[in-house]
Amino acid sequence: MQVATTKKALIDALLHHKSVGLVPTMGALHSGHASLVKAARAENDTVVASIFVNPLQFEALGDCDDYRNYPRQLDADLALLEEAGVDIVFAPDVEEMYPGGLPLVWARTGSIGTKLEGASRPGHFDGVATVVAKLFNLVRPDRAYFGQKDAQQVAVIRRLVADLDIPVEIRPVPIIRGADGLAESSRNQRLSADQRAQALVLPQVLSALQRRKAAGEALDIQGARDTLASADGVRLDHLEIVDPATLEPLEIDGLLTQPALVVAAIFVGPVRLIDNIEL
C-alpha cells in the first residue's frame, strides 16, 4: 500500500492504473469505512482512500472544538485500510489541500445543502462539496463510495456530479450498525458507555417507524420526535420524513404511499449523531 501526502505523489502513484474507486474519509476509521473499501475493491482495479479532516465543513472553518477534538489516529487508520485492501492512501495536511489559505472559490450547494443538516450546520455541505470536488479532480475515479448513514451528503454529492458534469459514478453503501443497533460513526468514540446506551433511542425510534410502514400502519412522526426529545440525556435536533432524492419534506396524512427517508439528528452529551432509515 502506497501512502501519498502530497498531490504530486498521489498523481504519480495513479499513473497507468485502470479503473479506480475512491473512498473519501476524514479518518477515525471503523467497520463502516471497511465496508466502503470492500465495495470499492469488488468493482475496481485500484482502490484509493483519502484521510483528511476538512476544516471547511466545520463551524468557523475549523476554529471550533468539534474540529480540534475530531479523532485523529493515522497509524490505526492506515492499518485498517491496508488490511481492507486499499492500494493508495492520500493523507495530506491542510496546507497541501489549501495552499496559501482557505480557497476563494467554493462549490455552493444551494437549497439541498441548507436544509436539515445544513440548517443546523451552516456552510457544512459547501465545505463537503468543495473538498470532494478537489478529490475528484485529483484522483479522477471511475466510482466513489459514500456511506448511506450520511444520506444528505450522498444526495448533495449526487447533485454535485450531475450539475457540474463530473464523470464519476456515486455508489452509496448501506449503513453498518453495531451489535446494539447504533450506526457506526467516528464520533461514537467520544461517547461514554452511558451516553452510548442513551443514544440507542435514535435507531430504536427509526426502526419503529419502519416497522409501522411495513405493517401498513399510520406513521406518527410527531410522536417519534416527542420520544427522542423526552429521552434521558438526549437533545433532539431534527427528525423529518423526506423525499430520498431531493430531501424535500413529505406531507403525509396517515399512511405513506411513496418511497421516503426518515432522517434524524440528536445530541448526546457534546456529540451530535445522525441516522436515517428507508421507508
Cα 40 from Cα 21, distance rounded (Å): 5
What average pLDDT does this structure show over 194-212? 96
- 33 given a catalytic annotation: yes
- Predicted pLDDT of residue 186: 87
More confident residue, 278 or 251: 278
What average pLDDT does this structure show over 15-25? 94
Q: What is the domain extent for residue 125?
A: 2-173
| Same domain (yes/no): 25, 122 | yes
User: Which H or E run includes 119?
Assistant: helix 117-120
Identify which of 245, 90, 73, 48 has the alpha carbon closest to the alpha carbon of residue 157.
245
Q: Is the pLDDT of residue 257 over 80?
A: no
| Same domain (yes/no): 133, 166 | yes
The per-residue pLDDT for range 108-138, each reduced to its tens digit, is 999 999 999 999 899 999 999 999 999 999 9
Give the confidence band of 17 by pLDDT, cuts at 50, 70, 90: confident
| Same domain (yes/no): 192, 273 | yes
Q: Is the pLDDT of residue 254 over 90?
A: no
- Predicted pLDDT of residue 145: 98
What average pLDDT does this structure show over 202-221? 93
Final residue of a domain: which of 143, 173, 203? 173
Does a structural domain hold residue 94?
A: yes
Catalytic-role residue among 16, 17, 30, 33: 33
Does a structural domain hold residue 181?
A: no
The per-residue pLDDT for range 91-105, each reduced to its tens digit, is 999 999 999 999 999
| Same domain (yes/no): 16, 108 | yes
| Same domain (yes/no): 11, 104 | yes
Q: What rounded mean pLDDT belongs to the chain?
A: 94
Give the confidence band of 256 by pLDDT, cuts at 50, 70, 90: confident
- The set of cell numbers assigned to 15 is 499513473
Beta-carbon count within 10 A of 89 CB: 24
